Chains A and B, each alone.
Chain A
Amino acid sequence: MASHRCLLLKGVKSMSGINPVVGAKDVKPKKPKKQKSSALYKQEHRVAFLFVLAPVIGFLLFSVYPFAYSIYASFTDWNGLNRMNFIGFDNFVKLFQDPYFYQTLYNTVFYMIGIPIGLGLALLLAIALNRGLRGTTFFRTVYYIPVISSLAAISIMWAWAYNGDFGLVNQVLEIFGVQGPNWLENTSTVKPAIILMAVWKGLGYSMLLYLAAIQSVSKSFYEAADLDGANSFQKFLNITWPMVKPVTFFLVITNIIGGFQIFTEINIMTPTGGPEYSAASIVWYVWQKAFKYYQMGYGSAMSLILFIFIFIVTVIQFYLNRKSDYSLD
């Protein structure tokens, strides 16, 4: 902030220096004039500063302060109700011995299997919809509906669909003579069931971004490829895929960050974390600890670890992306 201010003031000085009215010989009248114009700029600067101040205060108050507070809380035995006692690294020591911490972390990472599946499907759909077939607009809307629907409503709906007795999924399976499991109550099916739902929910969003990316690829590339006799798979591999790579990168990052924070689906579809905690995600466990078991300090410690994880993963991704980055003029 300070350096920025200096730059502005410097600008003011040099501008008045250029002013031809101010003679080089006469030094005295130069001063008041210079002060006058810089007062105006100062004034303007002050106003600008106030405008900037509002979001800065908001950021400090609602992001930095809670973040710092949460870091401090992770070193205390705070129960969320009353005073906090500083207990050093106790929470973290306990955390790394907590089997449910690993279990929920594993579950959370497991859910991310859905990311490549979802992106692959989204890209396929986007390519299909880009062909200009009939009913494209209709399907675009259809695939986008889950995105704009409330996640809570969707979760309730899917929980019904997965119901072992009366669920739509098992009824459909029955037509093919398959006796479906009780999806959400079985340790081996609950995670795939939730992944399936998450993929379905996220498909429309990824598809739309891919569609936009594909449509912005210049036709001349494909024409050139046609002249060279490339088949459609080669065109996809060498033109479409590299051209939509930035979108893929963006989606992978946002999906991983979102994936680490998966909560609503879990909380609604498996309110107790699923049989033997097989569905519980890390954020769900944090919430459980902090708000249900009165261990806000422990919950804070866990979310701090989660933050570090997300941070590291994102840094790695940015690094990888920069390595594979290229530009096409």
Chain B
Amino acid sequence: MSEKFDLRKLKQELGEDEKVVKGRPVLLSQPEIKAMLQKRAERKKGKGSHDHL
């Protein structure tokens, strides 16, 4: 228990971990891609119907 708690060092390590996590690519599954396709179609449909107003 002689180890001192170093807040600065801890913050630095957390920052480095965050960089690694953020740099990692987010991979999608086919159902997730399908959901994106559906959302896009809904957005376009909404925009299209608004255009006709």
A binds B: no
- Which A residues contact B (CB, under 8 angstroms)? none
